[in-house]
C-alpha cells in the first residue's frame, strides 16, 4: 500500500499515531474519489432533479476530503492547531454526505457505495481527532 | 468583480449574508494563491532551510482555502452543519500561516504580503462563521 | 492586486514573461471560482436536467483551472515541459466550458458570466503557451 | 476496490475502455498522495536545499494528478477534447517528477517510492490517451 510506504519513509515522522494517520489519509483519498464519482453518477441519472442535494453535498465532501488528505499526510512541522479542526470539518462533511446518500442507497448503487465510504472516512477522522488529545 | 457577479446570478440564493459570503470567497481565493506563491518564494530563498515551517503551513493554508472557497461559493442546498466547521478550520489554517509569515515578514517581502492576506482571510472566515448563528 | 504582488516578490523569478504569467494566474483563479459557481447555479435551476453537460464541463474546468493556477504561479525551478501542456489542457477545458455556457447564456445569467470568464481564461492560457516558444 | 465500484455503478458509462479508465484514476490518486508525501519528506530532510527542484516538481505533479483523477472519473457527458489534453499534461507532469525523483532514489527512500508511483501513473495516462483514438 503506497500511502503507508510514503508515510513510513518520512525523515521526521510526527508524534501522531501512524496507523490512525495512514487510515485517515487512505479513507479521505477513497472518499474524495467516491464522492466525485457519486455526484457524477447522480448527475447522469434520469431523476437527477431529485438528487440535487446529494450532488451538492458529495461535491463539498470531495473537496474537503482532498484537502484533508494533504494536510494529514504532511508530517514536517505538523501543527495540531490546524490538523484538528481540519479533520473535524472533514468528519462533518462526510456525515452530511453519508446521511444524504443513505436516503438514496436503495435506488442507486453509487449512493450505497458512497454512503459506506463516507461512513468509513468519518470514523477514521473521528479516531484521528480523538487521538490528538 | 466576477465572484460577486456569479454569486448574485444564482437562482436559489442561500440565507447566508451575501456580503459576508462574497468577502469570504474572495479572501479564500486570494489567500490560496498568495500562500501558494509564498511557499514557492520561500523554497527559492537561499535560506530555504530556515523557512521549512513557513512552507509547510502555507501549503496547508492554500489547500484549506481552496476547498473552503468552493464550499462557501455553493448556494444550492447549503448545509450549515458543513459550512461552519469548514470555515472555522480555514480560519485556523490562516491563523497558523499568518503567525509564521509574521516571523519572516521583516526579511522576506512575500511573507509580508502573505501575512496580510492570511489575516484578511482569517477575519473574513471569522465574520462568516459568526453570522451562521 | 495580490497575485501580482506575490509574483513580483519572488526571489528567483522565471524567464516567463511576467505580465502573461500574472494574467494567466488571475484568469485561472477567476475562472475556477466562476465555473464552480456556474455549475452550482445550474444545479439550482428548475431546468437542471437540461444543464447536465454544462454542469459537468464547468466542474472539469474548475478543477483544471485550479491546478493550472498553482503550476503557473510557482517560479522556483519552473519546467516548460510541464508548464506548456498544463496550460494547453487548461485552454481546452475553458474552450469546452465556454462553448457550452454560450448555448445557455441567453437563459441563464450565470452562464453568460461564466462564458466570458472562460473566454478570457482561454485567451490568457493561449497567450502564455505561445510565449513559451 | 472502491474506485472500480464507483465507476461500475455509473448509470451512463462512457465509451472509454473501463479498465484503462479505472487504472488511470487509481494511479492518479496514488501519485497525487505519494507526490504530496515526497515533497513533504524532501522538505524534512537535512539536505532539503538540494531537493528544491524535486519538491517543486512533486507539488506540480500532485496538483495535476488530483485534477486529472476527477476529470477522468466523470463519465456523464465525457468530452474527449478535454480528456485527452488533460491526461497528456498529467503524463508530462509525472515524467518530470519521476525523472527528478530518480536522481535522489539512491539517497531517499521516499524518492524511490515516488519515482515508481510517477512511472506507473505516466504509463496509465499514456495508455488511456492512446485509447482515445
**In this structure, what CATH number is given to the domain that contains residue A102?**
1.20.1270.360
Tell me if chain A has a CB within 8 Å of the CB of B70. yes
Nearest to B44 among C45, C75, C114 (CB): C75
Burial class (CB in 10 A: 0-12, 13-18, 19+), A13: middle
Whether C2 maps to a domain, the answer reads: no
Contact (CB<8Å) A40/D11: no
Tell me if chain C has a CB within 8 Å of the CB of B110. yes
Q: Rounded to whole angstroms, how far apart are CA atoms D51 and D48?
A: 5
Cα torsion through A87, A91, A96, A100, rounded to 10: 130
Instruction: Give the tens place of pLDDT for each residue, C55-72.
Output: 999 999 999 999 999 999
Whose CA is closest to D84, among D118, D122, D128?
D128
- The pLDDT assigned to A15 comes to 92
Question: Phi, psi at residue D9, to the nearest 5°?
Answer: -90, 10
- Give how far D58 is from chain B: nearest CA, Å: 12
Whether D9 maps to a domain, the answer reads: no
The parts of chain B modelled with pLDDT lower than 70 are 1
Whose CA is closest to C23, among C131, C130, C125?
C125
Give the sign of the dihedral formed by CA C80, CA C83, CA C86, CA C91: negative
Whether D57 maps to a domain, the answer reads: yes
Q: Name the DSSP letter for residue D105.
A: T
Closest chain C CA to residue B74: C40
Q: Rounded to whole angstroms, how far apart are CA atoms D63 and D90?
A: 9
Query: Percent of chain A scored above 90 by pLDDT?
Result: 97
Whether B103 maps to a domain, the answer reads: yes
Residues 6+ apart with CB under 8 A from A130: none
Q: Rounded to whole angstroms, how far apart are CA atoms C63 and D72?
A: 11
Give B-chain residues touching A53 at CB under 8 angstroms.
77
Tell me if chain B has a CB within 8 Å of the CB of D50. no
**How many residues comprise chain A?**
133
Q: Rounded to whole angstroms, how far apart are CA atoms D90 and B29?
A: 24
Per the structure, the complete domain to which residue C58 belongs is given by 15-131
Give the number of domains in chain A.
Answer: 1
Give A-chain residues touching C44 at CB under 8 angstroms.
52
Average pLDDT, integer, range A114-121: 98
Q: Read off the pLDDT band of D20 (50, 70, 90).
A: very high
Whether C9 maps to a domain, the answer reads: no
Residues 6+ apart with CB under 8 A from B119: B94, B98
Q: Rounded to whole angstroms, how far apart are CA atoms A24 and A133?
A: 16
Whether C43 maps to a domain, the answer reads: yes
Average pLDDT, integer, range D69-73: 98
> Mutate which of A48, A53, A60 to test chain B, going by most B C-beta atoms within 10 A?
A60
> Mutate which of A48, A57, A64 to test chain C, going by most C C-beta atoms within 10 A?
A48
Q: Note if the pTM is more than 0.95.
A: yes
Q: Number of C-alpha atoms within 13 angstroms, CB side, residue D18?
A: 10
Q: Read off the pLDDT band of C133 (50, 70, 90).
A: confident
Contact (CB<8Å) A110/D44: no
**Alpha helices, H only, chain D:** 2-8, 18-43, 52-73, 80-104, 109-131
Closest chain D CA to residue B39: D56
Would the pLDDT of D7 be above 80? Answer: yes
Whether D58 maps to a domain, the answer reads: yes
Contact (CB<8Å) D82/C66: no
Whether D8 maps to a domain, the answer reads: no
- Give how far A60 is from chain D: nearest CA, Å: 14
Chains touching A (at least 3 CB pairs under 8 A) are: B, C, D
ipTM, interface predicted TM-score of the complex: 0.97
Amino acid at each position: 500500500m503506497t500511502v503507508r510506504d510514503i508515510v513510513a519513509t518520512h525523515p521526521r515522522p510526527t508524534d501522531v499515531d501512524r496507523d490512525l494517520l495512514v487510515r485517515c489519509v487512505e479513507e479521505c483519498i477513497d472518499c474524495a474519489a467516491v464522492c466525485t464519482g457519486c455526484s457524477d453518477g447522480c448527475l447522469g441519472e434520469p431523476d437527477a432533479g431529485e438528487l440535487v442535494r446529494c450532488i451538492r453535498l458529495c461535491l463539498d465532501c470531495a473537496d474537503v476530503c482532498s484537502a484533508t488528505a494533504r494536510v494529514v499526510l504532511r508530517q514536517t512541522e505538523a501543527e495540531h492547531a490546524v490538523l484538528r479542526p481540519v479533520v473535524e470539518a472533514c468528519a462533518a462533511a462526510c456525515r452530511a454526505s453519508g446521511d444524504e446518500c443513505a436516503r438514496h442507497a436503495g435506488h442507486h448503487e453509487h449512493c450505497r457505495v458512497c454512503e459506506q465510504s463516507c461512513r468509513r472516512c468519518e470514523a477514521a477522522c473521528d479516531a484521528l481527532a480523538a487521538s490528538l488529545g
